[in-house]
Amino acid sequence: MGLDSMHQSASAASTDKPLLSLRNINMNFGGVKALKNVSFDVRPGEVHCLAGENGCGKSTLIKVITGVYRPAEGAVIEYEGETYSHMSPVTAQDRGIQVIWQDLALFPEMTVAENIAFHEVLGGWPRLVDYGRMRRIAVDALARLGVTLDVDLPLKEYAIAQRQIVAIARALVGEAKLVFMDEPTASLTQSETDHLLEIVRSLSASGVAVVFVSHRLAEVLEISSRITVLRDGALVGVYPAAGMTQSKITELMTGKTFDQHVRARPRDDQPVVLDVRGLTRPGQFEDISLTVRRGETVGITGLLGAGRTELALALFGMLKPVSGTISIDGREVRFGSNREAIAAGVAYLSEDRLSLGLIQPQPIADNLVIASLRKILSGGLLSEDRKRSLVSRWIADLGVKIGHQADAISTLSGGNQQRVAIAKWLATDPKLLILDSPTVGVDVGARAGIFDIVAKLAESGLAIILISDEVPEVYFNADRVLHMAQGRIVGTYDPRQSRLEEIEAAVYA
Amino acid sequence: MHSLIRTHATEFSLLAVIVVISTVLSFATANFFTLGNAFDLLNISAVNIIFAVGLLVVLIAGGIDISFAVAASVVQYGTAIALGWIGGGGWVSGLLIAGSLGVLLGCFNAFLIHRFRIISIVATISTFNIYFGLLMFFTRGVSIYDLPDWLTDRVILFEREMPDGTWIEITLPVLVMIVCVVATWTLITRTTIGRQLYAFGDNPEGARRFGINIGAMQFIAFGWLGLMAGIGGLIQAHYAQEVVPNALYGRELDVLAAVVLGGARLGGGKGTVLGCVLGVLLISITQNGLNLMGVSPFAFKMIIGAIILIAITLSNTRIERLLPFVGQRGTGR
């Protein structure tokens, strides 16, 4: 049944008549204009990217299209030849508009079949559940994606990549013609991302239009045919993906130009801060030897699961290496806990800022001082005055934009949260700062700001390890790039002598 | 078979613990391993199992209820008084009155939780105190022994003397318990409402986005527990042949422990009727065995506490680590 409608829309694609077309979309929240006279269109079966920084109106636009929000007077929404002044969630779903939210909205304790065919148990009046029918629907939907999962297992048995696929399968069950995917690859590894993009391509080939929202510009360019860029709630323009570059999209999204240049500089004359020799923890990392000098930024890249984070945790005293040595400033150290590592001058900004790095509901100030409470003691008790002055200093130093120190950290944007997280560790006076994927969930515009801070810190003499699975990040911002694969360092590159493409080819091969 | 063990790890480990304890007890005591004793156990556990399956539904929906046991006492008094008004009544009118009173008290909890957004543990601790306070105040702590004959007469549905000289009996409480267990099982596994309850407990925000009626979920879950509490209350009065205001006080924690032991999760989305029944039985068997072994009743609570800890630790450890013949599978995490 779904296939028929898909063929129809696929044939419509040749006429280039849009499946969805929006004009004069204005959306106001109180006095704030979230969308200013935006227009947007999607052709049948195309992969269309919606690009823009956080807060640019992407999510608001999606919510207007899916009927969650009602746009201001004068809006025109045309979908499959019919005109609406606004959508409703029910109409949107009935007409085949589906959204896969970033948090997936799945039920981990229920089976894969129930998650995919959940609409079967909806409705107010109790009926008997037809499990056979739900299983058939689920198996069909997964087969359409070319995936086999055990539909009788609880969803929690599957990793995030498979859950993503379950969410897509669920959207397809509703005979989707237009699917919105909100940051679908945020927590996937490279090969999982490749598989997902493959699925998006086959959806598109079967006539389903996909609107893709992602911070990862490389995959945006790879997958989409057209890109709509929004900035501050207004339309910047619609561009064909062919001929676009990452830096050009970044410029359009932020309205600023970033010239990315290799920042690497020689640091060989500086004393060694961290000296690691033959560090091994079987199954996680093996025979790791590396040095980081004062003022040096060493980049570590590699696919997720290469052992990068495990290595960082070992340097931070949270995983015990089985053999090998770690020396800081020439003295061998053995950390029994991360408290000892912090005392020895190691700071670690964790990969998962949202759940591990910051305590979201708590005030900005409290988050910032949590790792250096000793410094704000006065007569054995915490001093509000000292806290305030410490926080003010770091907020100014790192250029964090905040309302008030007492506001919850969750009120800040990703980029500003990351600055607070960095400040938290800088307040401990570290010698070595380990940044694990510091730009995950941070806008492109704000990323440049984070790396400016990293460069400034290196200039002031801090030794820095920068971990990222995006090769360009370490290429442009580190003095040396180490490539990790399957727990080992398999390559060392000097960005001044190697080309970016060469390293990318080695890492993503 | 593998996936059956994987998805029902709790039930299998509970069953294993029950088998081990029963084996030990049958060697340690002469009377434990008789059919007569087995049926005794069933009769004794009936009321707790009725409460437990009710509480299970609330836990699955992501709530918790502390008040259901004293609510059952309130129902006992209310039903006794109402039966007096209608001049005696019978099992049908008794169950109807007790069930409706129970549903009413359960729905009051749901109303507080849904209307005023009070978290369920706070709401039900409050109603626990309100119900118990009102009960003690109005009854002045006086018990009722003057119950209708139909209620206090033992109803034996089936009995037979076994070759070993013990009697097996199936009494009315066991029948009612079986009906409640089957009804709850049907509700939560076979009906759309039941699956919505699981989904709501598992991921409330996800459920809301699907358009599931959140208020209805609360009223159904707490209403069902109320119904079970009402029925369980009447059966307890029948079993004890009296109505004592504080007879069920404290029962809520025993039942809660048994249900959690049975694999239900505080926080919602998880739990099975089988696990729940096994949880209650494990505790009853232990208590019964200790009794037969002549262990001081004062030591019961301590030993049962330890058993709950051990069983919960076992069921939280992945079953693969405990059973060497179940290999790792590639698909999971």
Q: C-alpha A96: how far from its chain's center?
A: 27
Specify the DSSP class assigned to residue B172: H
Q: B196 or A185: whose pLDDT is higher?
A: B196
Q: Confirm if A93 and A294 have CB atoms less than 8 A apart.
A: no
Strand order in the sheet with A297-301: A346-349, A432-436, A463-467, A297-301, A480-485, A488-493
* Contact status of A161 with chain B (Cβ, < 8 Å): no
Beta carbons of A150 and B270 less than 8 Å apart = no
Tens digit of pLDDT for each residue in A345-363? 999 988 766 666 788 788 8
Judge: B209–A129 Cβ closer than 8 Å, yes or no.
no
The whole-number average pLDDT for the span A68-78 is: 89
Of residues A89, A123, A157, nearest to B192 (C-beta)? A123
> How confident is the model over A280-311, as pLDDT tens digits?
999 899 999 999 999 999 999 988 778 888 99
pTM for this predicted structure: 0.76
CA distances from B156 to A55, A59, A467, B37, B175 (A): 71, 66, 73, 16, 10
Nearest CA in chain A to B186: A128
Report whether pLDDT(B316) > 70: no
A469 CA to chain B: closest CA distance, Å?
A: 22
**B333, A159: Cβ pair inside 8 Å?**
yes
- A50-75 burial: b if 16+ Cβ within 10 Å, else e: bbbbeebbbbbbbbbbbbbbebeeeb
- pLDDT at A266 (0 to 100): 87
Q: What is the ipTM of this complex?
A: 0.85
Alpha helices in A129-189 (DSSP H): 131-144, 160-173
Percentage with pLDDT > 70 across chain A: 95
Angstroms from A155 CA to nearest CA on chain B: 9
What residue in A sits closest to B329 (Cα-Cα)? A157
Kindly report, residue by residue over B60-82, the tens digit of the pLDDT.
999 999 999 999 999 999 999 99
Q: Which residues pair with B62 in a beta bridge?
A: none
pLDDT computed for residue A296 by the predictor: 95
| Distance from C-alpha of A501 to C-alpha of A497, rounded to nearest angstrom | 12
pLDDT at A182: 86
CB of A404 less than 8 A from some CB of B:
no
Strands (E), A359-487: 377-378, 381-382, 432-436, 463-467, 480-485
CA of B269: which chain A residue's CA is closest? A109
B321 pLDDT band (50/70/90 cuts)? low
- B15 exposure class (CB count in 10 Å sphere: 0-12, 13-18, 19+): middle
How far lies B98's CA from each of B50, B72, B80, B93, in Å?
A: 14, 9, 9, 8
- pLDDT at residue A12 tops 80: no
pLDDT on residue B97:
96
- Which candidate in A121, A131, A163 is best for mutational testing of the B interface (most B CBs within 10 A)? A121
Phi, psi at A311, each rounded to 5°: -60, -45
How far is the alpha carbon of B302 from chain A, nearest alpha carbon, in Å?
Answer: 33
Contact B206 A114 (CB under 8 A): no
- Residue B244 CB contacts under 8 Å (≥ 6 apart), including other chains: B143
Torsion sign (Cα): B41, B47, B50, B54: negative
Average pLDDT, chain A: 86
Closest by Cβ to A109, choosing from B190, B213, B270 = B270
DSSP reduced 3-state for B189: helix
B100-126 pLDDT, tens digit each? 999 999 999 999 999 999 999 999 999
- What is the gyration radius of the CA atoms in chain B, in angstroms? 20
Give Rg (Cα) of chain A. Answer: 25
Rounded Cα gap, residues A313 and A352, in angstroms: 13
| Residue A418: strand, helix, or coil | helix
Q: Where are the beta strands (DSSP E) in chain B?
A: 156-161, 167-171
B19 Cβ neighbours under 8 A, 6+ residues apart: none
Q: What is the DSSP string of A185-230?
A: TTT--HHHHHHHHHHHHHHHHTT-EEEEE-S-HHHHHHH-SEEEEE
* Confidence label for A6 from pLDDT (cuts 50, 70 and 90): very low
- Chain A positions touching B199 (Cβ under 8 A) are 107, 110, 114, 118, 121
Q: Identify from B60, B200, B214, B331 which residue to disrupt to test chain A contact, counting A C-beta atoms within 10 A and taking the largest count.
A: B331
Of B39 and A43, the one with more pLDDT:
A43
Rounded Cα distance between B157 and B161, Å, is 14
pLDDT tops 90 at residue A59: no
B9 to each of A113, A458, B239, how far by Cα in Å?
Answer: 20, 52, 34
pLDDT score for A120: 87
Q: Nearest C-alpha of chain B: how many angstroms from A324?
A: 30
Is A105–B205 a contact, with Cβ atoms under 8 angstroms apart?
yes
**Contact across the interface for A128 and B191, Cβ inside 8 Å:** yes
Contacts of B214 in chain A (CB under 8 A): none
Least Cα distance to A354 among A58, A102, A155 occurs for A102
Contact A179, A210 (CB under 8 A): yes
Q: Within an 8 Å CB–CB cutoff, is residue A128 touching chain B?
A: yes
Region B185-200: mean pLDDT is: 95
